[in-house]
Structure formats: structure tokens, C-alpha cells
């Protein structure tokens, strides 16, 4: 059975259930209005329309709850049942329009003002109008709608001596402040008399302005700090993912080099000595080219590359590093070992190429050696440059941060801006 059907059956059996309240004096109507259950709201209002007048212990009626949660159909139903509740205020002195100004539903604001236009400029206990509330919450569309109304009081000042413009500036909402200024909303300071006024009031206003400016600066600093922390978390996550990808790639490459190096020693050209071709000074199973210098170079370099790769595989599969700095240091060492392994396996290949092509075509081996050496030297040279450049840049940034922190403690100078911190911390690419 549907929820509305259950409520209908209960009300038919016991209509007095509609008037029951909980410990906070909340009726079923208030709960249904908060949740936006339109069918249940209609059923309860049909039982007794005066239910809309019952307020919770904090003074909020069902209209307040529906307006705060943006349920425009519920608001219209409540106003139709009891039009007078539009002017009801809670213990903070706030009307349903104050609640609506905290949200984003323009139709809701229009419905409330259509029910009672006098709501527009009603202040709460702190002197805040709906425009003050919308300015504090940065509800751009509602602010524009309120400013379009000819009866909106653009000079309303609350008990903190703030106009809506002052409130927006205090909250650090520069865009909202711009919209208010465009529509002629001024600050309380601009509205106060410049001469012949009460000196005590002017002093109080100046103190209030200073307080608001300090509060605005502190709020902007807090927001900047929050943004920076969020950016730093994302950057750290990117660094972590990059390191993990590099570690996984290194493991795969190490296994690949070890496999190639292991297989290469058993697939040397010229095959091996057998019983039919056994010559003086030779042994069965010996490579035919075992005594040649290129083969010796190949054998030594291939073996070293094999064992370096195996060592990397053992370390990668045995050591678990949690802390990012330690992981980065381990990756830097392993990375250099893989550089060495790549160079060794390349030299082994080039050495063996001299045997494969023979003396008649030795120029091919020389050409391949020149090409391979050029590519290797260029690649490793570039990597070394990036490594050194990254470390020098990191050292420079540490020095700048230290000096910036020292200046901030002495309240002088300004370090790097927010964007500069981000640009320095976030690198699209760097070498380990």
C-alpha cells in the first residue's frame, strides 16, 4: 500500500491523529511539508486546514519547512488553506520568504510574494530582509528577482549596520556585490551622513566597517586555504598515481629485459660445437664464436643486464613502501638501475651484431652502432637533464617557501600567489 493511502486509511479511522505532535511540537503536516509529500499534505489539510497554523517549538510552521526545502506546490497548498500564515515568523523573526531566500527556487519566491507583497521588506530579529539573506547565501537568481521588484528597499540596514551590499562583501561574494552595486544598492557607510552627524554613531560605523573588512579578508584567506588544500590533495593523488604507474611499468620492463637477456645466451649465432665438428681446443656444447671479442663483450654485458633486472624484480615484488617520499626515493634508484640494464643490453646487441653481419658487411654493424649510440646518448642525456632540472627547481621552491613563511610571520612581503603555488606544485611531466 502506498504511503498516501496508508495516511488516508489512518485519518478515516482516527481523524484526531492529524493533530498529534512529537516532542518538538512537530505535526504530521510539518513532516510531510518538509519531505514534499504533496498528497499527504492535501489529505491532512482536508481534515483540518488550521493544522497549517501549528508551529514547532522553534516557531517554524509547515510553510517555513516547505519553503526552506523548495517545495513550491506544498507552499501553494498551505497558502490556499491558510493565507494568513504567510506573515508568520519563527523565533528568529524569519518569515517563509527568508527561508525561500536561502534556497534557489524562483517560483517559490514568486508564490510567497503573490500571497503577501508586504513580505518583501520584512526584517527578522537581526534586521535582515530577504535580500540580506539571499546576499549572504549568494543566491544570484533570487537576488536579481528581488532587485527587479520596484518596492524592494535597497537601503535596508540590519542591526549589524549592514546593507545587503555590506553582507555580500563581508562573506567574500564579489560577484553578488557587483550585481547589487549595478542595481544601486549602497553600503551603510555611503548611506550615512558625511557631515553634521552624530560623532559616536560615525565612530561606531567606522569600527563596524573595519570589522567587516577584517572579517572579509579572513574569510577570503580561509577560502583560499581550503582551495589550496583541495588542490594539494588532487596533486598528491596525481603524484601517487604517477609513481604507481612508473613502478608497475618498471616491473614489467625488468621482467622483459631479464627474459630477453636469459634467452639471448642460448640463441647465439653460429650455433654450438657438436661431435661432428669438434676441433682442437674446443669442447662439446661450446659456442662457435666463444673466443671472439664481440661475443665476450656480449656475454658479460648480457649477464650483468640479466642480474640487474632480476634484482629489480625481486625488490619490486618484495618491498612494500607506503610513504610517498620513500617510494619516490626507491623508484629513483630502481629507475637508474633500469637505465644501466637498458644500456648494457643495447651494448650486448651491438657487440653481437659485428659477429652476425661478418667481416664483409661490417659497415652495417658500424652504422647500427652509431645510430644506437646516438639514440641512447640523446635519450639518457635528456633524462639526466630533466632529473637535474627537477631537483634544482624543487630546491629553489623550498628556499622560496621558507623565505615566504619568514616574511609572513613578520607581516611583510608577499610570497608566491595561489596560482604560482599551483603552477610550481603541479608538473605535467618530470623525471625521477
59 occurs within a structural domain: yes
Of the residues 122, 139, 162, the one at which a domain ends: 122
Co-location of 374 and 244 in the same domain:
yes
Contact 106, 145 (CB under 8 A): yes
Co-location of 116 and 224 in the same domain:
no
107 pLDDT higher than 70: yes
177 occurs within a structural domain: no
Co-location of 112 and 230 in the same domain:
no
Question: Which structural domain range is residue 293 located in?
Answer: 218-270+285-425
32 occurs within a structural domain: yes
**Digit-coded pLDDT (tens) for 358-406:** 777 888 888 988 998 999 899 888 888 888 887 888 788 777 767 766 6
**Digit-coded pLDDT (tens) for 45-62:** 888 888 899 999 999 999
Residue 196: its pLDDT value, please? Answer: 45
Co-location of 400 and 261 in the same domain:
yes
Co-location of 241 and 371 in the same domain:
yes
280 occurs within a structural domain: no
176 occurs within a structural domain: no
141 occurs within a structural domain: no
Co-location of 401 and 252 in the same domain:
yes
279 occurs within a structural domain: no
CATH no. for residue 79?
A: 1.25.40.20
Contacts of 250 (CB under 8 A, 6+ apart): 312, 316, 331, 334, 335, 338
Residue 428: its pLDDT value, please? Answer: 53
Contact 162, 177 (CB under 8 A): no
195 pLDDT higher than 50: no
The sign one gets for the Cα dihedral 204, 210, 215, 220 is: positive
393 occurs within a structural domain: yes
**Digit-coded pLDDT (tens) for 152-166:** 999 999 988 889 999
Cell of 420: 604560482
Residue 163: its pLDDT value, please? Answer: 92
Residue 365, SS3? helix
Q: How confident is the model at residue 418 (pLDDT cuts 50, 70, 90)?
A: very low
Co-location of 224 and 340 in the same domain:
yes
Q: What pTM value is reported for the model?
A: 0.47
Domain count, the chain: 2
Co-location of 264 and 397 in the same domain:
yes
Rounded to whole angstroms, how far apart are CA atoms 260 and 212? 71
Amino acid at each position: 500500500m502506498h504511503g498516501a493511502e496508508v495516511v488516508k486509511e489512518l485519518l478515516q479511522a482516527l481523524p484526531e491523529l492529524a493533530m498529534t505532535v512529537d516532542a518538538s511540537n512537530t505535526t504530521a503536516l510539518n513532516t510531510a511539508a518538509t519531505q514534499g509529500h504533496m498528497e499527504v499534505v492535501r489529505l491532512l489539510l482536508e481534515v483540518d486546514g488550521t493544522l497549517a497554523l501549528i508551529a514547532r517549538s522553534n516557531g517554524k510552521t509547515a510553510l517555513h519547512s516547505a519553503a526552506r526545502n523548495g517545495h513550491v506546490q506544498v507552499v501553494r497548498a498551505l497558502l490556499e488553506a491558510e493565507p494568513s500564515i504567510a506573515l508568520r515568523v519563527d523565533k528568529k523573526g524569519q518569515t517563509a520568504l527568508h527561508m525561500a531566500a536561502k534556497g534557489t527556487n524562483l517560483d517559490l519566491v514568486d508564490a510567497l510574494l503573490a500571497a503577501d507583497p508586504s513580505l518583501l521588506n520584512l526584517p527578522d530579529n537581526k534586521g535582515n530582509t530577504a535580500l540580506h539573506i539571499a546576499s549572504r547565501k549568494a543566491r544570484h537568481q533570487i537576488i536579481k528577482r528581488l532587485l527587479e521588484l520596484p518596492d524592494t528597499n535597497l537601503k535596508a540596514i540590519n542591526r549589524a549596520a549592514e546593507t545587503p551590499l555590506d553582507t555580500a562583501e563581508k562573506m567574500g561574494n564579489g560577484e553578488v556585490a557587483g550585481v547589487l552595486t549595478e542595481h544601486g544598492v549602497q553600503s551603510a557607510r555611503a548611506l550615512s551622513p558625511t557631515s553634521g552627524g552624530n560623532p559616536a554613531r560615525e565612530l561606531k560605523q567606522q569600527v563596524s566597517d573595519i570589522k567587516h573588512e577584517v572579517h572579509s579578508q579572513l574569510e577570503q584567506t580561509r577560502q583560499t586555504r581550503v582551495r589550496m588544500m583541495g588542490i594539494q590533495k588532487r596533486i598528491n593523488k596525481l603524484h601517487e598515481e604517477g609513481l604507481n604507474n612508473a613502478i608497475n611499468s618498471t616491473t614489467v620492463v625488468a621482467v622483459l629485459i631479464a627474459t630477453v637477456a636469459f634467452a639471448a645466451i642460448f640463441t647465439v649465432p653460429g650455433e654450438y660445437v657438436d661431435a661432428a665438428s669438434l676441433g682442437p681446443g674446443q669442447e662439446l656444447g661450446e659456442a662457435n664464436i666463444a673466443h671472439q671479442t664481440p661475443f665476450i663483450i656480449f656475454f658479460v654485458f648480457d649477464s650483468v643486464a640479466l642480474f640487474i633486472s632480476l634484482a629489480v624484480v625481486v625488490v619490486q615484488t618484495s618491498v612494500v613502501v607506503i610513504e610517498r617520499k620513500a617510494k619516490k626515493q626507491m623508484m629513483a634508484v630502481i629507475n637508474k638501475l633500469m637505465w644501466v640494464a637498458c644500456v648494457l643490453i643495447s651494448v650486448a646487441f651491438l657487440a653481437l651484431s659485428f659477429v652476425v653481419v661478418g667481416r664483409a658487411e661490417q659497415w652495417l654493424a658500424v652504422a647500427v652502432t652509431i645510430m644506437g649510440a646516438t639514440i641512447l646518448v640523446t635519450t639518457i642525456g635528456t633524462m639526466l637533464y630533466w632529473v637535474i632540472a627537477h631537483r634544482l627547481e624543487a630546491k629553489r621552491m623550498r628556499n622560496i617557501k621558507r623565505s615566504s613563511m619568514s616574511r609572513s610571520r613578520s607581516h611583510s612581503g608577499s610570497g608566491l600567489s595561489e596560482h604560482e603555488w599551483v603552477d610550481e606544485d603541479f608538473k605535467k611531466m618530470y623525471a625521477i
